[in-house]
């Protein structure tokens, strides 16, 4: 009697390899879609954060009848502006260097942080307290010592775009959102206004207070003016046609042209080709990055704390402002005005918005709407001289030479926008 054995069932090696190959192909096809879906979610979250900031601006204006001041705070009254030790903490002040975001904190659900800032705060481990509004956010980590002012070091989730991976030191609390200061370079770091918030003469340069005041009014045409108060009524072009703020990318320490400042020591940033003064420093093989080993007139600002978006509480444009003279995701370029490279970011410069999103960035319009602006937006003549007083520049009252993009950044230049952006 013979026993008939049942045939064994299973995959052959060839069949198994075919199945593995098919799975690999499917994963390869699906992975980009998954990544795209994740970025779409991050982009939506980023837009929602910006929307909350827009609502905060409107609520702030409803409460105080003005916009939060870019570079506001407490004046220099003879005390120690920094408060770098327990002994001088009670005399600390911030010499009008606080960003627009500081005053907004209670309006985007950071009431607890605002309570720390607006009230005396005890020096950690010490016996003295900082006065309300704290010390200057300009100070470096090396100067913190016993006077480490915690609010300026706080990372606020609602000020961060999820698409930006930047974290940690040497930043002192990052932000991905900056106030729009218009299409000019002139004094866009507030240097035309003194540390007491007043316009003062500069006898050495032959500049009277009246002379400075006229130049400031003519050139600083953004919705926010450093060290000056603006209101919705100042936005004569209409809130829906004027950018209030834009995204900015924080520095990752990789020599990205959008986040690491470079200066040109010889350029006139206001004149023809001035806005392109740093183009010669870009690496032609990697056009999103600065070239290594720059030589004069180009100088890379290598101080670790001078990265884009590194100090949410600081009103200097490098940290918390955007300008509309170069298209989104263009290079930042600071006017050094000499050899003081360490403090070059305190001067003036070109600070386009930027983002980690593909092809553009978000902007917040004055009416609270969020728009995604592509890198290819019509931006006029990037090499043009700017609008300001003096015969060497475009006449006061001219429309922005930087096209639709520049027009969106000015609050009262009477430009007509006849298309949806």
- Least confident range from 9-18, 88-97, 236-245, 347-356: namely 9-18
Predicted confidence at residue 239, as pLDDT, reads 93
Instruction: Tell me the average pLDDT across 2-11.
Output: 59
Predicted confidence at residue 139, as pLDDT, reads 63
Give percent of the chain with pLDDT exceeding 70: 85
3-class secondary structure per residue, the chain: CCCCCCCCCCCCHHHHHHHHHHHHHHHHHHHHHHHHHHHHHHHHHHHHHHHHHHHHHHHHHHHHCCCCCCCECCCCCCCCCCCCCCCCHHHCCCCCCECHHHHHHHHHCCHHHHHHHHCCEECCCCCCEECCCCCCCCCCHHHCHHHCCHHHHCCCHHHCCCCCCCCCCCCCCCCCEEEECCCCCCCCCCCCCCCCCCCCCEHHHCECHHHHHHHHHHHCCCCCECCECCCHHHCCCCHHHCEEEEECCCCCCCCECCCCCEEECCCCCCCCCHHHCCHHHECCCCCCEECCCCCCCEEECCCCCCCCCCCCCECCHHHHEECCCCCCCCCCEEECCCCCHHHHHHCEEECCCCCCCCCEEEEEECCCCEEEEECCCCCCCCCCCCECCCCCCECCCCCCCCHHHHHHHCCCCCCCCCCCC
* Nearest Cα residue to 175 out of 193, 159, 163: 159
| Statement: residue 220 has pLDDT above 80 | yes
pTM of the model as a whole: 0.86
Predicted confidence at residue 108, as pLDDT, reads 92
Band (274; pLDDT cuts 50, 70, 90)? confident
Band (79; pLDDT cuts 50, 70, 90)? low
| Range ranked top by mean pLDDT from 10-24, 45-59, 199-213 | 45-59
Instruction: Tell me the average pLDDT across 4-31.
Output: 72
- Least confident range from 51-65, 222-236, 407-421: namely 407-421
Instruction: Tell me the average pLDDT across 60-67.
Output: 96
Give percent of the chain with pLDDT exceeding 90: 45
Q: What pLDDT digit, counting tens, does each position of 307-319 carry?
A: 899 999 999 899 9
More confident residue, 13 or 5: 13
- Least confident range from 26-35, 176-185, 279-288, 332-341: namely 332-341
């Amino acid at each position: 009697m013979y026993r008939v054995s049942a045939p064994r069932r299973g995959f052959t090696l060839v069949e198994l390899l075919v199945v593995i190959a098919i799975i690999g192909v499917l994963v390869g096809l699906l992975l980009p879609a998954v990544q795209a879906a994740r970025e779409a979610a991050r982009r939506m979250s980023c837009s929602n954060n910006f929307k909350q900031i827009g609502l905060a601006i409107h609520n702030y204006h409803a409460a105080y009848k003005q916009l939060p001041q870019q570079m506001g705070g407490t004046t220099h009254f003879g005390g120690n502006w920094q408060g770098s030790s327990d002994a001088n903490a009670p005399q600390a002040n911030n010499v009008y260097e606080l960003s627009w975001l500081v005053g907004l904190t209670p309006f985007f659900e950071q009431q607890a942080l605002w309570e720390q800032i607006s009230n005396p705060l005890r020096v950690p481990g010490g016996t003295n307290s900082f006065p309300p509004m704290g010390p200057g956010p300009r100070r470096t980590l090396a100067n913190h010592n016993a006077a480490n002012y915690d609010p300026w070091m706080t990372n606020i989730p609602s000020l961060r775009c999820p698409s930006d991976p930047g974290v940690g030191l040497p930043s002192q609390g990052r932000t991905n959102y900056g106030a729009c200061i218009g299409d000019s370079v002139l004094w866009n770091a507030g240097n035309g206004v003194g540390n007491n918030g007043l316009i003062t003469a500069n006898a050495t340069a032959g500049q009277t207070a009246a002379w400075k005041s006229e130049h400031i009014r003519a050139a600083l045409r953004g919705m926010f003016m450093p060290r000056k108060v603006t209101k919705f009524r100042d936005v004569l072009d209409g809130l829906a046609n004027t950018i209030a703020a834009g995204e900015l990318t924080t520095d990752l320490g990789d020599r990205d042209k959008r986040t690491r400042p470079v200066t040109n020591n010889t350029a006139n940033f206001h004149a023809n080709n001035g806005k392109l003064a740093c183009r010669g420093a870009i690496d032609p093989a990697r056009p999103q990055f600065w070239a290594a080993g720059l030589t004069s007139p180009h100088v890379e600002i290598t101080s670790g704390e001078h990265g884009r978006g590194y100090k949410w509480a600081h009103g200097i444009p490098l940290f918390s402002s955007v300008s509309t003279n170069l298209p989104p995701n263009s290079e930042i370029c600071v006017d050094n005005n000499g050899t003081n490279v360490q403090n070059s970011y305190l001067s003036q410069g070109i600070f386009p918005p930027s983002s980690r999103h593909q092809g553009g960035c978000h902007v917040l319009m004055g009416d609270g709407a969020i728009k995604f602006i592509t890198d290819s937006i019509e931006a006029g003549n990037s090499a043009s001289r700017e609008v300001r007083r003096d015969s060497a520049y475009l006449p006061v009252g001219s429309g922005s030479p930087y096209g639709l993009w520049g027009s969106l950044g000015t609050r009262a230049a009477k430009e007509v926008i006849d298309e949806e952006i």
